[in-house]
């Protein structure tokens, strides 16, 4: 590796020379400028407090006992008010005149260590420097923008699908050889393409696990449209958070970068990619090359589920341009996606000039079909052990397994769904549920006579048809809220209370959906969201041609959201009234009320305007007694007034 920073105009994807401000330097000290008479006690355990002015707000932070033996310490951790430029708190010299620390007549300047002191200096504000060099600020900044559920080992992705040890062996071997053993790799980007339900995410998870074991996993982002991990603006902060935890030199560089310019996190994808990903590693290659002797893999899985197609292309272009123009760099990339038309153009059109290895996961290959058979065999073996008192040792019949494998035609998502459906412990009837699947598939004639994705749609129909009629209305509203309001990551408990459901009604409404949803138990309902196992369910429910009578009813949902939002905005904490049906304590009620009132303020007027006019009298009733302070200044409210006026005219 070169000992000098690259200055070629084409380096880092044409970004030019590495900015001088990115080279590691001594972190600036902190100037403590009092803005109020507030004080903190230097030693709370003593009767005679040594007090001194503290800037803005401070929060406690623990330091090693050896630093201040025998003393209780409240270190200063500056937290600037909103709108304040944190750079005004920084000084670049090692010393600063601190005469302003003592202000005669200040009520906080009584007896204490600094009483009467003037014209002195504090050299190297050590505590602040240690705070910054610890990397704490960078995680605080990034956590405002990141998506923790997109990590490979996130609790938001419970039991993620992985490749069976004997499946996808060829492509797994190719990726591991490319990323772990090749000293001179031709490409630094590996693009895995495949249609829905062929096992791309399982492959990505398996590769992430393997590279993590080898110490070569840099970061991951698992997109999921139905689970609301689809915002491109969270991608770079999420990757940077993981890289900062992985490499201390990288952490130091972007800590200083974000402390001096936190607005980077509000800039466009191209700027974030260059300043938070590429430029710091150029610096590391120059100053600490020993820390990047092995390449770090970054995985972007399910890129086609990113919300905006323009952002999908931008991410591909940023990575593709960089790997094409910079040969020697410590980051390599694996991207998994469906071969959607707008992405396929980037592959085929020479204008894009994407330099990468492309691997297509095909469902009609012999290996894919064998993989489907292995998943079935392993899955049924596990089911037989779980329900050993119900099932014979030779269960299931061999021809049942063969028929399902033939119907799957290599679609691993299809066979995974069958296993989850049969293994549902709440149904407690694996034999009966397998028989139901076989009868269902036999109805289409010879194995393979129907596409597995069409068969999956029909199985979804079967599942939804088993929901009791008295609960189907609630079921569809829960799913519609989860799918059509993707930006509001409500926990299961919050979602139930938004819909006005008690615990029993909520779980009864979802009781038939454990094969397609991860549903948290009641004890975890306030901390966890619902999770869809596969995006095909969301696609199915939004397409009336596929879901027919089970298609999401937008009008009904918007009416429910508008009505419930008005009711929640009128609710007063501590009443345990009809507004919330699933509350376990006053403290929990207050927390839920705050979250749902924020939701209501954001959506109430727009939801009302998207509702058929026949529902208007119900809204008028709820408007009576509503305090409009803080919710009547938006464009959505003005649109609601126009909608109300039009209704009154008619």
For 571-610, how does the pLDDT look when each residue is reduced to its tens digit (9 = 90+)? 765 554 567 899 888 888 889 999 999 999 999 999 999 9
Q: What does the H/E/C string look like for 238-300? A: HHHHHHHHHCHHHHHHHHHHHHHCHHHHHCCHHHHHHHHHHHHHHHHHHHCHHHHCCCEEEEE
Q: Which of 465, 494, 516 is the last residue of a domain?
A: 465
Contact 332, 167 (CB under 8 A): no
Domain that holds residue 86: 32-124
Same domain, 353 and 370: no
| 551 domain-assigned | yes
Q: Is 142 contained in some domain? A: no
User: Is the domain of 327 the same as that of 216?
Assistant: yes
Count of domains forming the chain: 4
Per-residue pLDDT, 86: 40
Does some domain include residue 311?
A: yes
Alpha-helix residue ranges (DSSP H) falling in 85-234: 126-133, 136-142, 169-176, 200-213
Residue 69 has pLDDT above 70, yes or no: no
Q: Answer yes or no: is pLDDT of 17 > 70.
A: no
Chain length of the chain? 650
- Rounded CA-CA distance 483/532 in Å is 10
For strand 78-79 and strand 57-58, is the pairing parallel, antiparallel, or unpaired?
antiparallel
Mark whether 342 and 371 lie in a shared domain.
Answer: no
How far is the C-alpha of 230 from the C-alpha of 542, rounded, in Å?
17
352 lies in the same domain as 436: no
Mean pLDDT value of segment 559-573: 87
How many CB atoms sit inside 10 A of residue 25's CB? 11
CA 553/CA 566 separation, integer angstroms: 20
- Give the pLDDT confidence score for residue 462 in this predicted structure: 86
Of 397, 431, 465, which residue is a domain's last?
Answer: 465
pLDDT digits 0-9 by tens, 611-631? 988 888 888 888 888 888 888
Are 207 and 347 in the same domain?
Answer: yes
What is residue 242's predicted lDDT score, i.e. its pLDDT? 97
Q: Same structural domain for residues 290 and 212?
A: yes
Both 320 and 387 in one domain: the answer is no
In a domain, 566, yes or no: yes
**Mean pLDDT for the chain?**
79
Q: What is the pLDDT of residues 232-288, one digit of tens each?
A: 999 999 999 999 999 999 999 999 999 999 999 999 999 999 999 999 999 999 999
| In-domain check, residue 624 | yes
Give the end of a domain, one of 433, 450, 465.
Answer: 465
Residues forming beta bridges with residue 30, ordered by sequence position: 90
Residue 160 sits in the same domain as residue 281: yes
Same domain? For 177 and 296 the reply is: yes
**Is the pLDDT reported for residue 349 higher than 90?**
no
DSSP 50-100: -EEE--SEE------GGGSTT-------EEPPTT--GGGGEE-SSEEE-GG
Is residue 1 assigned to a domain?
no
Q: Do 266 and 401 lie in a common domain?
A: no
Backbone conformation region of residue 83, classed left if phi is above 0, alpha if psi is from -120 to 50, else beta: left
Together in a domain, 256 and 353: yes
Q: What is the pLDDT of residue 302?
A: 95
In a domain, 9, yes or no: no
Percent of the chain surpassing pLDDT 70: 75
3-state secondary structure 214-251: CCCEEEEEECECCCCECCHHHHHHHHHHHHHHHCHHHH
Do 339 and 192 have their domain in common? yes
Residue 213 is part of a domain; what is its CATH number?
3.40.50.300
Per cent of the chain over pLDDT 90 is 46
Q: Say if 587 falls within a structural domain.
A: yes
- pLDDT, tens digit, 9 for 90 and up, residues 19-68: 444 444 433 333 333 334 343 444 444 444 433 333 333 444 333 343 33
């Amino acid at each position: 590796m070169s000992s000098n920073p690259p200055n070629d105009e084409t380096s880092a994807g044409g970004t030019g020379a590495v900015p001088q401000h990115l080279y590691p330097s001594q972190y600036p000290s902190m100037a403590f400028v009092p803005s109020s008479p507030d004080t903190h006690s230097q030693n709370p355990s003593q009767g005679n407090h040594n007090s001194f002015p503290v800037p803005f707000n401070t929060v406690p932070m623990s330091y090693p006992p050896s630093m201040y033996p025998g003393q209780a310490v409240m270190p200063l951790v500056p937290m600037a008010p909103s709108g304040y430029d944190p750079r005004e708190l920084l000084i670049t010299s090692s010393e600063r005149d601190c005469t302003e620390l003592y202000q005669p007549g200040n009520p906080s300047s009584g007896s204490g260590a600094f009483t009467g002191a003037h014209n002195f200096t504090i050299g190297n504000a050590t505590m602040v420097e240690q705070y910054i060099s610890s990397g704490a600020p960078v995680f605080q900044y990034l956590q405002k923008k990141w998506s923790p559920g997109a990590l490979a080992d996130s609790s938001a992705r419970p039991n993620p699908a992985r490749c069976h040890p004997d499946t996808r062996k060829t492509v797994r071997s190719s990726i591991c050889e490319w990323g772990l053993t090749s000293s001179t790799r031709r490409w630094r980007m590996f693009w895995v393409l495949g249609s829905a339900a062929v096992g791309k995410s399982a492959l990505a998870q398996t590769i992430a696990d393997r590279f993590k074991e080898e110490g070569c996993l840099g970061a991951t982002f698992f997109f999921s449209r139905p689970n609301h991990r689809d915002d491109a603006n969270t991608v770079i902060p999420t990757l940077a958070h993981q890289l900062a935890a992985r490499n201390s030199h990288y952490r130091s560089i972007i800590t200083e970068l974000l402390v001096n310019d936190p607005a980077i996190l509000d800039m466009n994808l191209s700027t974030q990619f260059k300043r938070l990903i590429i430029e710091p590693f150029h610096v590391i290659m120059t100053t600490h090359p020993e820390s990047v002797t092995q390449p770090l893999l970054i995985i972007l899985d399910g890129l086609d589920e990113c919300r905006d197609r323009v952002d999908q292309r931008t991410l591909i272009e940023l990575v593709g341009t960089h790997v094409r123009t910079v040969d020697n760099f410590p980051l390599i990339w694996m991207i998994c996606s469906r071969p959607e038309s707008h992405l396929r153009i980037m592959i085929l059109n020479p204008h894009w000039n994407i330099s990468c290895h492309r691997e297509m996961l095909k469902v009609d290959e012999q290996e894919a079909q064998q993989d489907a058979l292995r998943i079935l065999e392993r899955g049924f073996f596990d089911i037989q052990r779980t329900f050993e008192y119900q099932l014979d040792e030779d269960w299931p019949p061999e021809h049942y397994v063969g028929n399902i494998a033939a119907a799957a035609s290599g679609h691993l998502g299809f066979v995974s769904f069958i296993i989850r459906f049969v293994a549902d412990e709440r149904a407690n009837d694996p034999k009966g549920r397998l028989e139901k699947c076989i009868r269902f598939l036999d109805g289409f004639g010879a194995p393979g006579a129907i596409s597995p994705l069409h068969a999956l749609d029909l199985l979804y129909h079967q599942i939804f048809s088993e929901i009791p009629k008295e609960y189907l209305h609630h079921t569809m509203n829960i799913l519609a809220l989860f799918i059509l309001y993707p930006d509001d990551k409500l926990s299961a408990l919050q979602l139930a209370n938004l819909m006005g459901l008690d615990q029993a009604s909520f779980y009864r409404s979802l009781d038939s959906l454990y094969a397609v949803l991860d549903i948290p138990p009641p004890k975890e309902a306030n901390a966890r969201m619902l999770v869809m196992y596969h995006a095909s369910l969301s696609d199915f429910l939004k397409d009336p041609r596929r879901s027919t009578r089970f298609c999401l009813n937008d009008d009904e949902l918007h009416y429910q959201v508008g009505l419930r939002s008005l009711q929640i905005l009128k609710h007063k904490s501590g009443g345990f009234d009809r507004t919330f049906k699933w509350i376990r304590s006053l403290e929990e009620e207050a927390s839920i009320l705050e979250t749902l009132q924020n939701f209501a303020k954001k959506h109430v007027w727009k939801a009302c305007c998207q509702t058929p006019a026949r529902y208007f009298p119900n809204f008028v009733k709820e408007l009576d007694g509503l305090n409009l302070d803080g919710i009547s200044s938006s464009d959505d409210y003005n649109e609601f007034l126009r909608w109300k006026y039009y209704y009154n005219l008619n």
